[in-house]
Amino acid sequence: MRIAFVSNLFPPIQTGSAYWTAQAAAALAARGHHVVVITCAPGARTEQIDDAEGVRVYRLPAVFRLPRWSLFLKFDQFYLMSGSKNARRFSEILRDERIEVMHQAGQLLDSMMLSSAAARTLAIPAVCSIHTRIGHPTSIIFDRLLRTIDRVFVGRFVMRRYVRIVALDQVLLRHYERVYRRRGIVCVPVCVDDEILQRAAAPLADGSPVSIVSVGHVTAMRDRRELLAAIAELKSRGLAIHLDIVGKILTDITSRLIAELGLDDTVTLVGELPRDALLDRLRHSSLEVHWIDVEGVGSAAIEAMALGLPVAAWAPADIYGDVPLRHLENIVLINPHDHVSLVRTLELLVGDASLRRRIGANARELVQRYLTWGSVAARLEAVYEGAISAR
């Protein structure tokens, strides 16, 4: 097949969606498909074209960079690419590359307008993958605004142009079947590229203090307040622990909480790390506590599991359908809002190095069997084939 991925978020921007798109494109190219990516080039005035892992990447000039608005959790790398010149070039690329199916990665930003319009005018079947739940964690007004836009504008006027919709987990699938009033959404689980598994399994740090890492940009949705409260209680009980929070710092709430709880010597706000440095940090840690205020596991957590690290996340056991996630066997399933259970579970993990090693080894085996592109890419191929045949 001749496939085009479309996304505002693509490396060197470091987000789960950016890496997911890059890895999906590379995996499909490795399976013999002709794959291109159309994304934006932050700060560039002219189009840039590069090739990586058998994929041609077209980077169109970004027409606008969203300010660090609270509406978008103050994330500073939301670049918009819609404009008349880019729209014309977008259609030219699709025609020149003789694209048979288009994949819109994410329903959050304006590339969705380009791909949905092209799907209609060029009669190219299009697929949209849903990577996140649209809403706002701290503002009722912003939350209602975003949910209304998602339900009314995106759901009624845009999503109908995609012949297939993919959700990256069952939680998103169930949510968007309700929001978009659409059945038949397909779950294609978050996974990792095989290169991560080729690295040596993590030599879990068993010394003192126990090294905990939490990966993810620090935003109003991921301020870690529940985790910090749990760490403070564990510290008061005399447990030797240290927490590194790795990700772009986009709110001052977390630093204030660290100071208020007396955790300056126990918690480090590391900031954003290059990908290789992040993977190295994980390999020298004892536990990854993935944090977000909506249920999900996420690509960073799956990468940590692939390295043999025990991972704690808020998710139902069936979040990936038939992938057998089992609490305290190959993952740690926690509810961040249940303080007593959270503290009890972390205390158990901190105090039992053999349990951490067993969960980490089982997690690596689980990822190797179910959650690599080598096993998941075929699911996307089936989605594309269905989209093409439904045209």
**CB-hemisphere CA count at 13 Å for 262?**
5
Given a cut of 80, whether residue 383 has pLDDT beyond it is yes
pTM of the model: 0.84
- The CATH superfamily assigned to 2-191+373-389 is Glycogen Phosphorylase B; (3.40.50.2000)
SS3 for 196?
Answer: helix
Q: What average pLDDT does the segment 22-41 reach?
A: 94
Give pLDDT tens digits for 218-252. 988 789 999 999 999 999 999 999 999 999 898 89
How far CA 160 is from CA of 174, 177, 286, 291, 387, in Å, comes to 18, 13, 45, 32, 13
Arithmetic mean of pLDDT over the chain = 89
Quote helix, strand, coil % in the chain, to nearest 5. Answer: 40, 20, 40
The angle at the Cα of 98, spanning 94 to 104, to the nearest 5 degrees, equals 45
Our measurement of the distance from residue 190's CA atom to the centroid of its chain's CA atoms, rounded to an integer in Å, reads 8
- The CATH superfamily assigned to 195-370 is Glycogen Phosphorylase B; (3.40.50.2000)
**In residues, how long is the chain?**
391
The angle at the Cα of 70, spanning 69 to 75, to the nearest 5 degrees, equals 65
DSSP 206-272: -SSSEEEEEES-B-TTS--HHHHHHHHHHHHTT--EEEEEES-B--SHHHHHHHHTT-TTTEEEEE-
Return residue ranges of the chain for CATH 3.40.50.2000: 2-191+373-389, 195-370
> Lowest mean pLDDT: which of 87-101, 175-189, 321-335, 372-386?
175-189
Dihedral sign for Cα 107, 222, 172, 101, please: positive
Q: Quickly state the pLDDT bin for 70 (edges 50, 70, 90).
A: low
Given a cut of 60, whether residue 71 has pLDDT beyond it is no
Tell me the two tokens of residue 267.
């918690």
Q: Is beta strand 79-80 parallel, antiparallel or unpaired with respect to 64-65?
A: antiparallel
On whether the CB atoms of residues 318 and 326 are closer than 8 A, the answer is no
Q: Give the range with max mean pLDDT: 36-45, 130-139, 229-238, 276-285.
A: 229-238
On whether the CB atoms of residues 13 and 7 are closer than 8 A, the answer is no
